């Protein structure tokens, strides 16, 4: 893996494709056991979690439903301090076991904003599956049931995560130099 340049910034390899896929498989196995006999609904937070969700859902291999919401809170390489809902919350989640699929928990603001709304529309249960978590950046209390990797408070791209909409197509994850 070589370094990559996106806009004005350089990024260096951090997590390989093989390491990511092995961990996603483990999370899938864990989800399959925990949700056995149920048909959960994966709620994928666009855009960043799209790639992770595609691999995670197939790794889970259990009957499920799938829906999406687009939320945005980042500007450049820092949290903007506000969450913008670009699409409406799907109403079909009432009575469902909802698994929110996120690319990364940074301050935790996005999940802190979304979870009460899922409860308000009558989700039967909620859980969070996130590929990455930055414990040192977290400001909001959350129950994180499924975490792929805990990482330092550095800006990362690849495997769905972007810097100003670039880098999502990278199969590995890279960290800002």
Which of 107, 121, 124, 164 binds ligand IMP (CB under 6 A)? It is: 107
Closest separation in Å from C-beta 84 to ligand IMP: 11
Residue 106 annotated to the active site: yes
Contact 55, 21 (CB under 8 A): yes
Q: What is the rounded distance in angstroms from the CA atom of residue 41 to the CA atom of residue 127?
A: 10
Piece of the chain touching ligand IMP by CB under 6 A; list 1-9, 27-35, 62-70, 100-108: 100-108
Whole-number Cα distances in Å, 170 to 1, 10, 70, 77, 144: 11, 14, 21, 17, 26
Task: Give which of ligand IMP, Mg ion, none residue 155 binds (C-beta under 5 to 8 Å, depending on kind).
Answer: ligand IMP
Site membership for ligand IMP, residue 148 (CB under 6 A): no
| Structure token digits, residue 165 | 């909409």
Q: Contact between 106 and Mg ion (CB under 5 A)? A: no
Catalytic option among 55, 97, 103, 106: 106
Single out the residue of 14, 74, 146, 159 in contact with ligand IMP (rule: CB under 6 A). Answer: 74
Q: In what order do the strands lie in the sheet with 4-6?
A: 4-6, 9-15, 173-176, 156-157
CA distance 127 to 28: 14
Window of 12-20, 25-33, 59-67, 156-164 that interacts with ligand IMP by CB under 6 A: 156-164
CA angle 19, 30, 115 (to 5 degrees): 100
List residues near ligand IMP by CB under 6 A.
Answer: 48, 73-74, 79, 102-110, 155-157, 161
């Amino acid at each position: 893996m070589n370094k990559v340049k996106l806009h004005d910034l350089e990024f260096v390899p951090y997590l390989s494709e093989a390491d990511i896929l092995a961990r996603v498989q483990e999370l899938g196995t864990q989800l399959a056991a925990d949700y056995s006999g149920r048909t959960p609904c994966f709620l994928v937070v666009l855009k960043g979690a799209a790639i992770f969700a595609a691999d995670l859902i197939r790794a889970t291999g259990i009957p499920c439903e799938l829906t999406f919401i687009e939320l945005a809170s980042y500007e450049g390489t820092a949290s903007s301090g506000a969450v913008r809902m670009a699409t409406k919350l799907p109403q079909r989640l009432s009575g469902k076991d909802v698994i929110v699929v996120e690319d990364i928990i940074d301050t935790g603001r996005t999940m802190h904003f979304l979870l009460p709304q899922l409860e308000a529309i009558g989700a039967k249960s909620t859980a969070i599956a996130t590929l990455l978590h930055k414990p040192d950046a977290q400001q909001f209390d959350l129950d994180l049931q499924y975490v792929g990797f805990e990482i330092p408070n550095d800006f990362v791209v690849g495997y769905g995560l972007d810097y100003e909409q670039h880098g999502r197509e990278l199969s590995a994850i890279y960290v800002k130099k």
